[in-house]
Structure 1
């Protein structure tokens, strides 16, 4: 299970300690080839890089979507270094080491609350799970090695075609995984039918308030009650809902009928989230209409929430303080 204490080899008069693992070209190899030692060293490094970059990506303001994808790609490159070597040895613990920083980066790329699940965050951000990307890199590497061994000279177009084929397989496998999400079901079930179009779209970017509407994590009575910020899940904008959620705001709440009428004029009468997402990926006009609705409604809901914070005597309703909260407040509507 491990070498004797203080065991060593002497080569040319140099003593070399015998250990359970060794570093070779940046990859930590262990005697069982399960790469546990590699991921034990990799996880803190990737998490630190992710934490540093997320500070550059506030939910309100900050860089555009293209820059956020770039930052996410930086952390992805660190995490997937040497993937062809260890792609087939991803234990549950090793997989968790990859998922933690990916969830952190995907959440920031999508401008979402940190309570969003891994599945929902990665779907919204369009970030294929890194273990699937590792398998893609490994398959491409060994395919090229086999071609070279057989004397074939691969053209760049052939390599690009093979890469696209493997990426499409990864998306299909990802879609199969999403058939039974462990969390974020509403979001995943809405995006999964059009996952390929969602990833390939050339229009639309996520905003802080649009992500709230798509994820259900935001200024909604049910969510605020769940995290202990509201004593109950009732809707404060109508009298008929005892459990307010994002879908109630999008489809039912009479307080937003005028905004909803403008939205329906563009996307149609079906305001179920799968139908809305389908319209969003089909046209930039529909995306803009949904984003406009989310921005208009959520801004007013946030302003109303601040009024309740200022007038409530309940400890759970006290407004939070701190640098990030003050920066966030600069982007809010003044209380009405």
Structure 2
């Protein structure tokens, strides 16, 4: 019984420390704020695993114009290739871009209509079904965005658009066996 009490106290102290550390994030402000207000519920939930594409949408790191422009440096601008919006972000993908209407409608039915990130996070924490619907939305949408990105990579002669071999391959490539 004493072990459970100590473990619970330690977990509460850890969550308080995380909340303090997340009080002044340097990146991912929208995601941090959406999760920070529900941090203990987020940590204590018993359902939901992260997929690669769910993580892309929650962090904004993926085939999104803003990420490809600012971080990956493979785009000249952060605009949306599909609709021309000035900034292609995860929020744009989740809420604004009309091509994802059917997927968005399905997700909104489970989340309760409000697709703002805090509402989606809250619904994901409350319901395993909402979590699964968000994962499904992210899988469908990001798979299509990735296919379009590959098509743009293959169809252009612009060297900026092509993926490089990466730092590890450049550094350790000589150690690889020939194909």
Instruction: Give a deviation string over 1:178-210, Cα, whole Å, max 9, x none.
Output: 122122212111111111111111111000000
Which position in structure 2 is the counterpart of 1:278? 122
Paired with 1:163 and 1:261, the residues of 2 have a C-alpha distance of 42
Instruction: Give a deviation string over 1:103-136, Cα, whole Å, max 9, x none.
Output: xxxxxxxxxxxxxxxxxxxxxxxxxxxxxxxxxx
Deviation at 1:166, TM superposition (A): 2.4
Give the superposed CA RMSD: 1.7
> Is residue 294 from structure 1 mapped to residue 138 from structure 2 by the alignment?
yes
* Structure 1 consecutive aligned stretches of length 4 or more whose deviation exceeds 3 Å: 319-322
Paired with 2:155 and 2:8, the residues of 1 have a C-alpha distance of 56
What secondary structure, in the 3-state scheme, does the structure 2 residue paired with 1:169 have? helix
Q: Contact between 1:219 and 1:301, CA under 8 Å: does it hold in 2?
A: yes
Paired with 2:27 and 2:151, the residues of 1 have a C-alpha distance of 32
Q: TM-score, normalised by structure 2?
A: 0.88
Which position in structure 2 is the counterpart of 1:217? 61
Q: Contact between 1:310 and 1:319, CA under 8 Å: does it hold in 2?
A: no
Which position in structure 1 is the counterpart of 2:150? 306
Which position in structure 2 is the counterpart of 1:245? 89
* Gaps in structure 2 of 5+ consecutive residues: 170-179
Higher helix share: 2
Instruction: Give a deviation string over 1:278-326, Cα, whole Å, max 9, x none.
Output: 000100000001000000000000000000001112111124458x99x
Which position in structure 1 is the counterpart of 2:81? 236
Q: TM-score, normalised by structure 1?
A: 0.48
Higher strand share: 1
Which position in structure 1 is the counterpart of 2:34? 190
Paired with 1:164 and 1:207, the residues of 2 have a C-alpha distance of 28
> Is residue 168 from structure 1 mapped to residue 12 from structure 2 by the alignment?
yes
Spell out the pairing of 1:62-73 with structure 2 (5 A cutoff): none
Paired with 1:251 and 1:307, the residues of 2 have a C-alpha distance of 24
Deviation at 1:258, TM superposition (A): 1.0
Larger radius of gyration: 1
Which position in structure 1 is the counterpart of 2:172? none
Paired with 2:42 and 2:7, the residues of 1 have a C-alpha distance of 19
Instruction: Give a deviation string over 1:111-170, Cα, whole Å, max 9, x none.
Output: xxxxxxxxxxxxxxxxxxxxxxxxxxxxxxxxxxxxxxxxxxxxxx11321221122122
